[in-house]
Chain A
Amino acid sequence: MLKIQNLHASVEQKHILKGLNLDIKPGEVHAIMGPNGAGKSTLGYILSGREGYEVSEGSVDFQGEDLLEMEIEDRARKGLFLAFQYPVEIPGVSNMEFMKESVNAMREQRGEEPLSAAEFLKKAKEACKQVQLPLDFLKRGVNEGFSGGEKKRNELMQMILLEPTLCILDESDSGLDIDALQVVANGVNSQRDGKRSFIVITHYQRLLDYIEPDHVHILANGKVVKSGDASLAKEVEKEGYAFLGQDNAEEAGA
């Protein structure tokens, strides 16, 4: 599904990813943990195609294609989805219009007819229910004035509607109450079908209690420094990142 090899990237002359490797097979759930500033969100941005990042070395293969060569929208159309750590507020564009356009962009990609407003509304209502957002959130501006938790649910709703093949969730669990955590976990679990893959970026073991990862990676100072199974997350939860050693901890904290 996704194969990242020796990825080096920088933004504004700052070297952030320093030789990152990751191999994700269809149907797998990978959790990525790591200290603040390690480069986790940066990885998500680069995969989604955000401008301003310079990849100086390495490669990313997504379903047999060179991901780094694709336009942002093409990556999404080919099934890559990033749930943002900080979703963008867009006053003036309704959530409904936004999601309808994106769903129809995906349908166009698959050679399907666009959904009518009524057809879409039906789908959107279901998705709203699934993430427990009141229906009037469809009418509001995209993320406009949404609380932190509501933004995360809104991201999840988009994931459900767009049916991606690779979902990257960047701290979809932070700032959530216990109920919402359950909502996120259910959202992911309901989409787990043996083919769809997930990268779950999180700081907390808590979410991983609900979403059982196949692999856990620790990302520090721009690369994966340790990989393991679900037990690695529990270890981190207990011990923190002390095992990274002084060098990494300092650099990561700097």
Chain B
Amino acid sequence: MSQWLQQVIDRGQAIDDWLSPVREQALESLRQTNWPNRRVEAWKYTSLVPLEQLTLSSDSTKTSTDIADIEGLNSLDLIFVDGELQSDITAMTLPEGLHISSLRDAADEQKTTAKALFSQIKPQRHLFGLVNDVLAEDGVIIDIDADSHIERPVRITNLSTQGQESHHRVLVRLGNRSSVTVIEQGQGEQASLSTGFAEYDIGEHAQLEHYRMAMHTHKAIHIGGCHFSLQEQARLNSTLVGYGSQLSRVDVDIIHNGEHAKAKFNAIYLLGESEHFDLHSTIEHAVPNGTTEENARGIVGDKAKAVFNGRIHIHRDAQKTLAELNNRNLLLSRRGQINTKPELEIYADDVQCAHGATVAEIEEEALYYLRSRGISRSQALVMLNFGFIQELVNQMPNQALAHWLQPKLQARFAEMEVK
């Protein structure tokens, strides 16, 4: 038992709230868990040493709780600072059919919703998911009535500040035939640790547009996940953006529980300096006639390291499944590292499944040609190499968000190269 895990268990045992009965299960699992080393497949390329060595000393000057406004987004904002909800939900006018409450102050009705979701969609194998089960005292519960179409996106932001450890939870239930857009954004750069796990139950014929922006950089350690359960005819369109920090890891599970559901998942990661980003995605086709399309694309510069593990699991009964996973990478520097591992497990015989991963390097010839026309090296690199990232940005259904993100990614890319 690692010291770190032991203190999590100790702290978890001390928490006494309405979720305690559910937490107890996670506590029990944690007591049985061995702290992962590099021989454990899920953590093969990501070392937890930075986490174990993290010493958190709080800074008395609190960072501002301002989050950047996104022009034209018109979102309902739920702002967390270090895992504590700052926004006053009771003061918000919510559209009809949308119910939001904090985990801490949930009313009985919402507690029932929450209990049906909490740790019910997220698989037990995620160690830090269990840590979050045990320690997440705050979070949000979002419940959408059947047949309700929520126009305004719900944006959940968690800011991690100097020296803080935080654990928050997002639980979302989409009633049958409903639709909503949820944006989860995490950021922070100073020494901190945050875990953030989200569980989505997408009802029959319901549509979820989802964004996860893991924008942690420098010393901000983040480990989190998004876990989706799709009921019959459900639609999921999700985009993930990963920056890299000392240690940043996201696990995604897309689980087809109802037939004829369609999932589209795009992931973008851009890493420079000695940043680390690890994305593990698992697509579970448990029933027939499901469709999944996954595109993960990344650029890695300097001494940065990207880890991508994309697993597709097609169960015996899941005939007529259509699943595609594609991972494209561009490596800008010889010192950078990309570990990409596609994993296919197919137990049904009548399926269409495609799977591929590539790592490309800079095309020197094209770069020279552009520069010989006066275009700077960094601009030329953007022109040559940003296109495949741009494509995914263009595919984001929310235009306002895409417009906001695009220059940020481009600037990040240009900076990666200059160094």
Contact = CB atoms under 8 A, between A and B. Distances in A.
A48 interface: yes
B374 A87 contact: no
A77 B373 CA distance: 8
A48 B373 CA distance: 10
B373 A158 contact: yes
B364 A102 contact: no
Interface residues of B, number: 18
Interface string B362-395: 0011101111111111011001100100000000
A162 interface: yes
Given A90-B384, A93-B387, A73 B375 contact: yes
A99 B369 CA distance: 12
Interface residues of A, number: 28
Contact of B373 (A51, A71, A76, A92): A76
A93 B373 contact: no
A93 B375 contact: no
Which of B368, B373, B375: most chain A Cβ within 10 A?
A: B373
Contact of A101 (B372, B375, B377): B375
B364 A51 contact: yes
Contact of A97 (B365, B371, B372, B383): B383
Nearest to B376: A73
Contacts, number: 70
Contacts of B384: 90, 92-93
A76 B387 contact: no
Interface in A157-178: 158, 162
Nearest to A72: B371
Given A90-B369, A93-B383, A93-B384, A73 B364 contact: no
A229 B16 CA distance: 97
Contacts of A105: 373-376, 379
Interface string B53-84: 00000000000000000000000000000000
A88 interface: yes
Q: Which of B365, B368, B377, B384 has the most CB of A within 10 A?
A: B368
A49 B372 contact: yes
Given A88-B365, A88-B366, A90-B366, A48 B372 contact: yes
A126 B366 CA distance: 26
A contacts with B: majority SS? helix
A114 to B, nearest CB: 12
A76 B383 contact: no
B373 A162 contact: yes
Contact of A109 (B372, B373, B374): B374
Contacts of A92: 384, 387
A197 B245 CA distance: 52
A106 interface: yes
A22 B365 CA distance: 27
A41 to B, nearest CB: 13
A222 to B, nearest CB: 22
Contacts of B369: 84, 87-88, 90, 142
Contacts of B365: 88
Contacts of B371: 49, 71-73, 76
A98 B383 contact: yes
A76 B374 CA distance: 5
Contacts of B374: 73, 76-77, 102, 105-106, 109, 162
Contacts of A98: 370, 373, 375, 383
Interface of A: 48-51, 71-73, 75-77, 82, 84, 87-88, 90, 92-93, 97-99, 101-102, 105-106, 109, 142, 158, 162
Given A50-B372, A92-B387, 6 more contacts: A73-B375, A76-B374, A82-B372, A98-B375, A102-B375, A142-B369
Q: Please list the 4 inter-chain residue pairs (A to B) with the smallest Cβ-Cβ separation, ordered nearest first.
A: A102-B373, A76-B374, A105-B374, A72-B371
7 contacts: A72-B372, A72-B377, A76-B374, A84-B369, A90-B369, A98-B375, A101-B370
Interface of B: 364-366, 368-377, 379-380, 383-384, 387
